[in-house]
């Protein structure tokens, strides 16, 4: 199957979906005139896109596989969620009331809809520390939480200590559906063991997604060719990134010094996301389920060296200055002196009041042979897990409610965030919407990222660019012992899990 065609198909369908959404307004799962889409169905994908010009694949109409008539007799769905001290939607799984904000209210409506549909009531417990709250209840053998929506970086080590249920096969959870990114089964499930899931259930995943914003005024000033077209053509690659970044730089005041008053192609401190973007593996899963280190090879060294060279060229704003004051990249971008800023999607909210337009791009592919564009979410989003204390008699309800909320999130909450928060208020154009919609399904969960803290932080190799590590080979060799020790410990623990 030609995967590039899949991308075109997806992007096209997304365009249709947006139109359908705009036309239909609020939809519920009560719409029955839809057709389930299986993204593995080659017949669908190989059909000319023009044959799919209906809204059968739109988010709003996408049907789940839950049976009709489920009734859990008023059971409580007891979820431990995170407090939202930084106001970055960490706790956006459920909402207590409508407040007139379209995204927040979509979350509220989703909850009410599913509660009624399944005859279940959500009981939310909020904590500033999901790890200690989970540990406390599980160690005390207290069956008080059905689901924990935990801080991803910190919650994963608990899986190694046997705190969570294997979700690889759980009642009603259908990982084939698009509200569970493909990489959950592709990467996060290690040898049949899957302790976490995430997707359209939790908006924090979407908001923490890495992407690139570009300043349209700067692109115009430097006659940069249409970047969306480059993406659509499958030509948005490392070569193209390098060429474009280097075509945009100017010593504006002519003083021979590269400072904040000059113009740049790139300013960022964010590089680890190039592991998924370039499809660079960090680990290999062996037949016995153990993980081996697989990060060091010619492709990785080449990718590192080329990104290092771009980052330290005069076309990029000084990393030293950014380390001292990261807000300088926002100043440059707002004031039309920066083309590309590597960001999290939530960072776009900072740019909503800037005068010039900006657009959103995926990170480039390593080269044209790569099948698609990929991204990752910064590891502060929430991962869902079921503590072993939850009584098995509750699994049917837990699975059905989780699946229904995720599905409705895909249909209504994520589009509300994209369509309203991003498109209308923030990113200002449909092409960015299409790219975001495509990227959300390509969020990657490489084990070395998910279990990063337990694997020696091997996934932080790319960020050594900002610490001016020019020789990545000797850095890797110096740290290999640490990685090996961590991998051995991980494998030992993981092998003992159910």
Interface positions with Ca ion (CB under 5 A): 251, 253, 255, 257, 259, 262
What are the tokens at 151? Answer: 């801080």
Helix (H) or strand (E) holding 342: strand 338-344
Residue 95's alpha-carbon distances to 43, 399, 420, in angstroms, are 40, 20, 18
CA dist 298 → 240, 258, 398, 448 (Å): 20, 33, 45, 19
- By beta-carbon proximity to Ca ion, the closer residue of 176 and 255 is 255
In the complex, the smallest distance separating the C-beta of residue 146 from Ca ion, rounded to whole angstroms, is 58
User: Cα separation of 186 and 192, whole Å?
Assistant: 11
Closest separation in Å from C-beta 241 to Ca ion: 24
Assign residue 47 a region (left: φ > 0; alpha: ψ between -120 and 50; beta: otherwise).
beta
- 8 A C-beta contact, residue 435 and residue 49: no
Distance CA 394, CA 400 (A): 10
**Minimum gap (Å) between residue 329 Cβ and Ca ion:** 17
Measured distance CA(27)–CA(106) in Å, rounded: 11
In whole angstroms, give the CA distance from residue 106 to residue 61: 16
CB of 252 to Ca ion, least distance (A): 6
Helix or strand run (H / E) with residue 123: strand 120-127
Half-sphere exposure of 490 (CA within 13 A, CB side): 27
C-beta of 333: minimal distance to Ca ion in Å?
A: 18
Residue pair 440/206 in contact by the 8 Å Cβ criterion? yes
Smallest gap from Cβ 132 to Ca ion, in A, equals 50
> Smallest Cα–Cα separation from 137: which of 114, 111, 112, 164?
164
What tokens were used for 280? 């660079």
**For residues 236 and 317, which CB has a smaller minimum distance to Ca ion in the complex?**
317
In terms of CB distance, is 252 or 470 closer to Ca ion? 252
Nearer Cβ to Ca ion (99/257): 257
Residue 28 or 253 with smaller CB distance to Ca ion: 253
Angle at the Cα of 117 from the Cα atoms of 116 and 118, rounded to 5 degrees: 95
Q: Which is closer to Ca ion, CB of 35 or CB of 260?
A: 260
Give the nearest distance from C-beta 330 to Ca ion in angstroms: 19
Q: How far is the CB of 324 from Ca ion (least distance, A)?
A: 18
């Amino acid at each position: 199957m030609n995967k590039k065609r899949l991308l075109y198909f997806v992007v096209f369908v997304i365009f249709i979906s947006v139109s359908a959404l705009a036309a239909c307004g609020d939809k519920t799962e009560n719409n029955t005139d839809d057709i389930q889409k299986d993204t593995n169905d080659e017949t669908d994908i190989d059909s000319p896109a023009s044959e799919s010009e209906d809204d059968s694949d739109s988010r709003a109409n996408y049907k789940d596989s839950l049976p009709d008539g489920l009734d859990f007799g008023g059971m409580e769905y007891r979820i431990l969620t995170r407090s939202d001290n930084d106001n970055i939607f960490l706790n956006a799984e459920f909402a207590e009331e409508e407040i007139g904000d379209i995204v927040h209210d979509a979350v509220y409506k989703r909850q009410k809809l599913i509660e009624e549909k399944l005859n279940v009531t959500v009981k939310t417990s909020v904590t500033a520390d999901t790890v200690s709250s989970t540990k406390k209840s599980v160690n005390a053998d207290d069956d008080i939480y059905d689901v924990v929506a935990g801080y991803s970086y910190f919650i994963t080590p608990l899986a190694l200590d046997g705190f969570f249920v294997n979700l690889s096969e759980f009642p009603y959870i259908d990982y084939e559906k698009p509200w569970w990114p493909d990489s959950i089964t592709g990467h996060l499930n290690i040898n049949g063991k899957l302790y976490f899931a995430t997707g359209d259930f939790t908006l924090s995943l979407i908001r923490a997604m890495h992407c690139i914003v570009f300043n349209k005024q700067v692109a115009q000033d430097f006659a940069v060719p249409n970047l969306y077209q480059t993406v659509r053509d499958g030509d948005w690659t490392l070569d193209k990134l390098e060429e474009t970044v280097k075509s945009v730089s100017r010593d504006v005041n002519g003083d021979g010094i590269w400072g904040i008053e000059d113009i740049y192609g790139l300013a960022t401190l964010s590089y680890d996301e190039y592991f998924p973007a370039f499809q660079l593996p960090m680990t290999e899963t062996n037949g016995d389920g153990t993980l081996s280190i697989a990060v060091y090879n010619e492709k990785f060294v080449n990718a590192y060296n080329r990104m290092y060279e771009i980052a330290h060229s005069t076309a990029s704003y000084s990393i030293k200055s950014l380390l001292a004051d990261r807000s300088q990249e926002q100043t440059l971008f707002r004031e039309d002196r920066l083309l590309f800023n590597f960001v999290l999607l939530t960072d776009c909210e900072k740019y909503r009041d800037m005068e010039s337009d900006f657009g959103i791009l995926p990170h480039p592919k390593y080269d044209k042979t790569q099948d698609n564009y990929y991204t990752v979410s910064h590891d502060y989003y929430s991962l869902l897990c079921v503590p072993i204390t939850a009584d098995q008699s509750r699994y049917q309800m837990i699975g059905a409610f989780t699946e229904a909320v995720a599905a409705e999130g895909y249909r209504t909450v994520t589009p509300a965030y994209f369509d309203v928060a991003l498109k209308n208020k923030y990113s200002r154009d449909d092409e960015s919407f299409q790219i975001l919609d495509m990227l959300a399904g390509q969020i990657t969960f490489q084990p070395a990222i998910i279990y990063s803290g337990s694997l020696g932080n091997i996934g932080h190799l790319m960020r050594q660019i900002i610490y001016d590590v020019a020789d990545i080979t000797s850095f890797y060799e110096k740290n290999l012992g640490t990685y090996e020790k961590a991998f051995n410990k991980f494998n030992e623990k993981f092998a003992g899990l159910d």
